Every structure is written in structure tokens, then in C-alpha cells.
Amino acid sequence: MNKPLIGVTAGEVFNRDRPWAPATFGQSHTYIDAVIHGGGIPIILPLTFDKSVLNGICDKLDGLLLSGGNDIHPQVYGQKPYDKLVDLSDLRDSTDMYVLEQALTRDLPILAICRGMQMLNIYYGGDLYQDIPEDLPDAHDHESSTKAENLSHAAHDITISPDSKLCAILQTTSINTNSHHHQAVKNLGKNLRVTALAPDGIIEGLETTDGRFIVGVQSHPESLIHKQPEWEQLFKAFVDQSASTLITA
């Protein structure tokens, strides 16, 4: 059986030790491993302002994984930037927004992780807390897994809506997860619904209200698939859904 081709958005990685060197376009192998483990064929998408290139790639995809990484520039959602933001990339913001639009136009299944979920919210007209400690000083530490220097560090539980796609996939209304973010969804975009919350109320899951397979999670389940079988099912469900839209021409 043919395997679905899954586009994985790249990050723009800046070389701080050699600032004269060109940035790298790439992504953590954990995303790639998770897609392969789920039965798909991953391809890392290039960052480019050339829409004809992105159109040509999107024509071949069966699913889109919007990955984590660079902070999203607040200009994308109409705010001025805080000084806490890191690794801003206009090139990545532009690429991610365009491939998301193209994936939606083509009715592709979409799995949006961390920054990817935030971009999904912005696309639908929402915005972000630019820095959780500054905007929500009473919130929990959502960078605890990063500070622990452990991708699969158990940070906190999330509560999942029982009537959500995420619940149907994970088969639970509560699960432990990692936490590697300092930004979060603030005002919810149109045609989106919240599907998961952290104990402090930070939004940890989103999906669209139109029934399509568009699932967003704030945590990094790609780093948990060998630790928690529930998260493994998320990638399997995403790849299986992408296989149902396989391009055969």
C-alpha cells in the first residue's frame, strides 16, 4: 500500500557562534521519526517567499505537519514585539502561513504542534500571549521541560474535552505531557474550539469546528511516542487520515 507524503514545516536555525554563516533550514528528527513510526513518508519543506515553489510542493502532499520552533513575530497578529522573543523569522512566518492556507484549500489533514498550533490560531484570526511569565505571572512554568533539558520530561497533565477529536484519538480525558513553550494562545480564532487545557488554564489543544482533521496540540507529542502509547496514536491517526486522501495521479 502506498504511504502518504507528509510535509513537515522547517525551522530557520541561526548560527549564533558564526553569525556570518547562513541560517539552516531544518527540523528536529523527532518529528520525522514520529511520522515514519506512524506509517507516513515525511518531507521537510523549504522556507521560501516563492509561492510557485510552495504550490508545487503542496500539490504533492497528502498531509501537513505544522511543527514547533521559532517564535512567531507579533506583527503577524497585529502586536508590537516584546523583548523576550527569540529566533524571529519573517521567512518562516510567511512560509508557514502560506502552506497552511494551501493545505486548507486542498482539504489536507493537518497536525499542528506547539508553534504550529499557535500559527493555526493566528490564521483563523486569533492572537497569542507573547510571553507567559510576563503576560500571566501566576501561570505555571511552561518551559519546565526545556529547563530540565529533557524532551520527554513530565511537566503537567492536560484535561481533554470528551467530545473532541483529540479525546477520540487518545482515548482519555486526561494525560500527562511535556512543556517547551513560553508563548500561548490568547484570544481564540474564529471557527476554532478549545479541546485541551493545562491546570492553569493555558490552552493546550485546538481543532476546527467544521469536522475536518485539523488537530492542534501545544505540547510536543513527537518526543513522547516511545514513552506514552496514547501520543503514538495521534501520529497514527494523522497518517491514517492522510492516507485516505492519497494522491494517486
Closest CA to 112 of 240, 227, 38, 9: 9
Query: Cα–Cα distance between 165 and 223 in angstroms, integer?
Result: 20
Which own/partner pairs from 25-31 qualify as long-range (CB within 8 Å, at least 24 positions apart)? 27/67, 27/69, 28/67, 28/222, 30/151, 30/220, 30/222, 30/223, 31/65, 31/67, 31/113, 31/222
Query: Cα–Cα distance between 232 and 61 in angstroms, integer?
Result: 22
Burial 224-233 (b: 16+ CB within 10 A, else e): bbeebebbbb
Distances in Å between the Cα of 208 and the Cα atoms of 90, 198, 213 are 26, 19, 8
Distances in Å between the Cα of 137 and the Cα atoms of 129, 134, 141, 209 are 12, 6, 9, 31
Give the other-Cβ count within 10 Å of 149's Cβ. Answer: 7
Neighbouring residues of 235: CB distance < 8 A, sequence distance ≥ 6: 34, 35, 37, 38, 40, 111, 221, 222, 225
The one catalytic residue among 142, 180, 182, 220: 220
The one catalytic residue among 12, 114, 142, 182: 114
Q: Is 114 tagged catalytic?
A: yes
The one catalytic residue among 12, 204, 207, 222: 222
List the catalytic residues.
114, 220, 222
